[in-house]
Amino acid sequence: MSEMKNERVGHPQWKKATLWASAVVLVLILGMALLVIFTPKKDDNAPVAGPSAPTSSPASTPPAQEGCNAPVGDTSSTPKMPDDLRWEAKDGWTWPVSDTYGPTQREGEFGVCFARSPLGAALMAVTLNTAISTSDFKAAVELYVPDSPGRDYALAQSGGGDAEPISYSGFIVDSFTPDNAQVTIVFSTPDTPTGYTGLPLSFRWIDGDWKQVVLDDGSMFRGQPIEPQRGEFVEWKSSP
């Protein structure tokens, strides 16, 4: 008996088809392998992405001014005197001013725009106290004091003009925040055992500058005068 021959195996066309089919299968297998390798695995325990949490920025020093050019400078309770501290004079009064920390601008005859710092508040204190004593009292109150019952009461009174000049010696920073300052202005006087008297004032930061807060009865000072000794207050750099 003759051996039967498988015509499909021996036929050249069939062999070519078989080779092409094998190549296609091999390409598909390689493609699937690459897909598996390069596809990142999903972590079931990974947190679900949500909205980004807001980043917090560190607290910054309060801005210099709104509309003024005074830098904040030293915010300690015993600030150093600026190099440009000088003295102005009027009608026997002399008081310290700084072209850097205040007043840096003028509104009519009045100095305005002070640094948002203890030194700025202290310069405001002597400027205001001098203004209400040497200039138009009502105009000074309208400028330096914010609307309040105390302001209305003060405007109804006569004041200023007749006060005796005082010699400013220094100041005490009783408390300070960027929005509120308690400052005691100290002046020399022969009427106390220490030779000094201190008058406490209160200021509030309003509309880009310091304004004096007065009591409802129109009093410009808070509490009772004190008698500080030298060394208990910050002295102005030099005498006029």
pTM over 0.85: no
105-107 and 93-98 strand pairing: unpaired
Q: Return the pLDDT at 238.
A: 63
> Is 23 contained in some domain?
no
Q: Is 39 within the bounds of a domain?
A: no
Does any domain span residue 184?
yes
Count of domains in the chain?
Answer: 1
Q: Which residues contact residue 224 at a Cβ distance below 8 angstroms, ignoring those fewer than 6 apart?
A: none
Residue 226 pLDDT:
96
Q: Does the residue 155 lie in any domain? A: yes
- CATH classification at residue 178: 3.10.450
Nearest to 171 by CA among 69, 76, 106: 76
**Alpha-carbon distances, residue 61 vs 55, 160, 174, 238 (angstroms):** 19, 37, 20, 29
Q: Which domain holds residue 160?
A: 85-235
Which segments of the chain have a pLDDT < 70?
Answer: 1-67, 158-162, 238-240
Select from 121, 84, 100, 96 the least CA-distant residue to 240: 96
Report if residue 156 sits inside a domain: yes
- pLDDT at position 67 is 59
Q: Is residue 76 part of a domain?
A: no
| Residue 141 located in a structural domain | yes
Residue 127 included in any domain:
yes
